[in-house]
Amino acid sequence: MKARVAAIAFAAFVAGGGLAAAQTPESDEESTVPEASATPSPAPKALTYHGYVRSFYFTRQNASNNSGAQFDYAPGAKYSSNGVNEAAWNTGISIDADYGFPGAQWNIGASYLYANPMDGPCVVAANHAKGAECVTQIPPRTNSDDTLPGFTLSTFYEAYVEYKAYNFDGTLGNQLFRSPWANPSDSRLKPAAFSGGDVSYSGIAHWTFEAADMLAFENRTSSDFSQQTLLTSYPAGAKGLPSNIDIPGGQGVKTNGFAFGKVAYADSATGFSAAGFFYGIADLANIWWFDGDYTFTKLPWKPFVGLQGGFESNTGRSYLGKIASQDVGVQIGADVSKNFRITAGYDSIPWRSDTIFLPKSVTCNGSYQIATKAATLAYFLPMNAAQCFANPNGTTQIYYGGWASPYTESYSTDPLFTSSVTQGMADRRAPGSSWKVGLTFTSDDKRWVFIATDAWYDYGNALAPQSTNIWVLDGRYHLSPVGKERYRGLLLRYRYAQRTQSNTQTLGGLPLFKYNRAQLEYDF
């Protein structure tokens, strides 16, 4: 309740202080094909429908220098699932329909998706649970790549009623909610969706005010809405609940969703826009987030600069432990010609440390990692970075400060300027600094698009160094002409990404990860 009251108070605070709002840039992991949304603007006065048929083939190479992950035919050989390569092929069809009542400001809509990988026993989601047959293959066989996922999906991910009049736009029900830290994440077969209410008002020139209360979440590999998040459950294809948080029963924990407030300002004539956001995520975290950008519209190349930043802290029952994080980021870019855009971004999240006595059944090992046995250390800890140091006097230094993202975790679709395909700072749950450069080519007719990015991440702290590099090549071709309206026609897309990490023998993780994705889609 306190979080929901704070969301309302936030709107008044930002309006009084003159803060403003902008659209946050997409990660290049986010799908750039037409949105799978049935929500129209403006509302139609009759039945409309559209949809897509989307087919993906994924392969992932997981190279590990962990001795337990090495290829070995010996009877009884142990191995780590991180050492098993992954592959998946799945095809889905989504149909979105909307009906606008004639002479009224009301409309209703729904979106349904069905996908089936046609892979014997692995079409059943239960066979992809931890320890099940479709995710425990021994090398050289492959695990299913459940980020796709590798099993059947069947869901009405949208089912809503919308009212649109007098500069108000309100939606109630299952919907594609769009905001920086809770978004549709439409980069696989279906988008992530939310269930709740959202209302916005745009009756003041250049200003938009929005408030929402989302009670349930359906992630991109699920067919059901639940009150769990990507950080409080064990979702297919994602890392899930932190290993240092012990919740009896092995089913994670349910929370009451989140309250949201937004105030935005945008003026296309001056090239300036900015936004302020508040998220009250029940019993997990409070997020205050700000972003803005300015385009020098009268200069050649139309250079632009973007700023972002925010604060995050744990709240309520704090199921994820202590969260104390802050980010600041900057991005610059320019359209060096009508076909080429270049960008460069930077984000920084400072490390924090506490000195404590560890609870019973919690230890700090020689690799600077926290180890627990049916116990909880109530901190939101980084992954594959130094977490702790055991002092001679019996105390332990805990290193933390990473950003917790309950609704984009492992999706690489968060708003950070440096998030990249396969991973970003929020996905690693780690503080540090990061840089990313990108080059985008778009043909004159917009049918060809090529993206190349290179990103560097420094997760080192006073205990141990750690660096990560991710580079990506992404190309797509639209077989039909591309106009200003929703695209209809065939799309071909291929993406390759490679990630390398240092110091994995001490801190864990994969020294080399390769990702291939082929996509065939028809939009109608």
CA dist., res. 228 & res. 223, Å (int)? 13
Average pLDDT value over all residues in the chain = 90
**Per-residue pLDDT at 84:** 83
**Per-residue pLDDT at 83:** 74
**Per-residue pLDDT at 363:** 98
CB 422 within 8 A of CB 413: no
Q: What kind of fold does domain 2-523 have according to CATH?
A: Porin (2.40.160)
3-state SS class at 3:
helix
User: pLDDT band at 35, cuts 50/70/90?
Assistant: very low
CA dist., res. 128 & res. 139, Å (int)? 17
> Percentage of residues in the chain with pLDDT exceeding 90?
81
**Per-residue pLDDT at 2:** 45
3-state SS class at 321:
coil
CA dist., res. 30 & res. 146, Å (int)? 17
CB 507 within 8 A of CB 381: no
- pTM of the entire structure? 0.90
Is the per-residue pLDDT at 75 higher than 70? no
Q: Which residues contact 21 (CB under 8 A, 6 or more apart)?
A: 208, 262, 263, 264, 265, 266, 273, 274, 275, 276, 277, 291, 292
Categorise residue 380: left if φ over 0, alpha if ψ from -120 to 50, beta otherwise: beta
**Per-residue pLDDT at 141:** 76
User: pLDDT band at 33, cuts 50/70/90?
Assistant: very low
Is the per-residue pLDDT at 403 higher than 90? yes
Least confident residue range of 35-39, 81-85, 173-177, 213-217: 35-39
Is the per-residue pLDDT at 48 higher than 90? yes
CB 505 within 8 A of CB 68: no
The domain ranges of the chain are 2-523
Q: What is the widest separation between alpha-carbon atoms in the chain?
A: 76
